[in-house]
Amino acid sequence: MEHEEILHRCFRCGYCKLPGNYVDVNCPSYLAFRFETYAPGGRMWLLRAWLDGKVSASARFADILFSCATCGNCVAHCAFPEFKDRLLLVFTAGKEAFLDEGIAPPPVRDLLTKNQIHGNAYGKPARQRTSWSEGTDIPLFSDQEYALFADDVTAYDPRGQEIARSVARLLQQAGVDFGVLAGDFRSDGNDVRALGETALFEDLAAHNIKEMNRLGVQKILTLSPHSLNAMKNDYPGQGGKQQVFHYTQALAFAMKNLKFKTGLPEIRVTFHDPCYLGRHNADYESGRMILRAVPGVKLVEMDRNRKNALCCGGGGGNFFTDLLSGGDDTPARVRVREAAATGASLLAVACPMCAVMLEDAVKTENLENLLAVREVSELVMDASCL
Partner 1 sequence: MTAELIQRLSKIVGPRFVSNAAEELYLYSMDPGTMPQAYPDAVALPKTAEEVQQIVRLAGELKVPVVPMGAGLVLSGLTRALKGGIILDMKRMNRIIKVNPLSRYAVVEGGVAQGMLQAYLKKYHPTLKHSMPDAPPIATMAGNMCIHGSGHLSVLGGSHSDMLTGMEVVLPTCEIIRTGSCSVSPDWFGRSPLPDLSGLFLGWAGTTGIVTKLGIKLFPNYAFNDMLIFVCEDADTMPDVIFRLTGVQVAEDMTPWMTPKPDWAKGFLHINIAFGAHSKKELTFKRNLLQASVRHYIDRKTAGFLPLPPTQKNRFLKVPSPDLARFADLRKGGGFEYVGAMMAIEHFPEAYRAGLEIAEKFQVSYSLGARIIGAGHAMMFFFAYAFNRADDEDVRRASEALDATNRAVLDMGGIPWKAERPAQVQIMEKMDPDTFALMTRIRATLDPNHIMNPGNWEK
Sign of CA dihedral 263, 269, 159, 173: positive
CB closer to partner 1 out of 66 and 132: 66
Please tell me the distance from the alpha carbon of residue 316 to that of residue 61, in angstroms, as a whole number: 16
Looking at this protein, which amino acid is placed at residue 289?
M
Between CA 313 and CA 317, with CA 316 as vertex, the angle to 5 degrees is 90
Site string for partner 1, 65-94 (x = CB under 8 A): --------------xx--x-----------
User: Is the distance from CB of 333 to CB of 299 less than 8 angstroms?
Assistant: no
Closest approach, Cβ 305 to partner 1, in A, equals 13
| d(C-alpha 306, C-alpha 299), whole Å | 14
Assess 261 for contact with partner 1 (CB under 8 A): no
| Angle of helix 158-173 versus helix 352-364 axis, rounded to 10 | 130
From the list 187, 195, 283, the residue with the least C-alpha distance to 235 is 187
Q: Which of 49, 140, 370, 386 binds partner 1 (CB under 8 A)?
A: 49
In this chain, which of 3, 12, 124, 219 binds partner 1, going by CB under 8 A? 12
Shortest distance, position 360 Cβ to partner 1, whole Å? 19
What is the footprint of partner 1 within residues 270-309 (CB under 8 A)? 303
Among residues 10 and 171, whose Cβ is nearest to partner 1?
10
Closest approach of partner 1 to the CB of residue 67, in Å: 12
**Residue pair 315/238 in contact by the 8 Å Cβ criterion:** no
- Candidates 10, 99, 164, 324: give the one binding partner 1 (CB under 8 A): 10
| Cβ-based nearer residue to partner 1, 56 or 366 | 56
CA atoms of 266 and 329, how far apart (whole Å): 31
Interaction pattern, residues 314-353, with partner 1; x per rule: CB under 8 A: ------------xx--------------------------
SS3 at position 143: coil
Nearer to partner 1 by Cβ, of 60 and 214: the residue is: 60
3-state secondary structure of 346: strand
Residues at the interface with partner 1 (CB under 8 A)? 8-15, 17-18, 21-24, 33-37, 42, 45-46, 49, 54-56, 58, 60-61, 64, 79-80, 83, 303, 326-327
